[in-house]
Amino acid sequence: MDAKELKRVRLVKRVAREFPDGSIVNLGIGLPTLVADYLPADRTILLHSENGFVGLGPQAEKGKEDPRIVNAGGQPVTLVPGGCFFDSAMSFAIIRGGHVDFTVLGALEVDMKGNLANYMIPGKMVPGMGGAMDLVVGAKNVIVAMEHVNKHGEPKILKRCTLPLTATAEVDLIVTDMAFIRVTKKGLMLEEIAEDTTVEEVIKATDAPLQISGHIARF
């Protein structure tokens, strides 16, 4: 496992610690799907997928994939005992009815007001909206899991999003390979940093102003 992959694993492990016992959690495509492999063993957490499952398990082992059991990104996964299947109408009724406790989504940009842009870059081919529009307004808690900067080294946490918005003022937490940031009514609160970074490095890599918690933990 290379250094970049180790950082991604550390990130998703930190996200997984946020879910209380008994939570129903939806994981978006891309990086958030890795959270399924690192859920705490001492808690019962049910994973929901908008393509019609509750009770998804970790990714399937090679050679043991079932083509009928895939997550919303099309990756072969497993089903835990008691897991169930249903149609898309029921799946989105669960989301829109407020029965999903947490959703974890990737982002192109997120800003200091909790606005999220994660579905479109004008002029470029990207996966599109998917279920994100429903999840960000239907889930009780919205966590953004992403790398702190883009491939050009530019901040993804901005004063104001520049890309078309998925939703306004819906993000509660931002977890990156560098930091754990809570979205508050007064702005962004830096509460934790990765073990191999510093507060100064996080501030430099963030466009939006950060409030610094009195006690900065490490993850």
Residues with catalytic annotation? 50
Q: What does the alpha-carbon distance between residue 77 and residue 58 come to, in Å, rounded to a whole number?
A: 6
Q: Is 195 exposed, middle or buried (0-12, 13-18, 19+ CB in 10 A)?
A: exposed
State whether residue 159 is helix, strand or coil: coil
CB 173 within 8 A of CB 144: yes
For 194, half-sphere exposure in the C-beta direction (CA atoms, 13 angstrom radius) is 21
- Give the separation between CA 190 and CA 211, rounded to whole angstroms: 6
Cα→Cα distances 50→124, 128, 134, 209, Å: 25, 15, 10, 34
Q: Is the dihedral of CA 35, 99, 115, 172 positive or negative?
A: negative
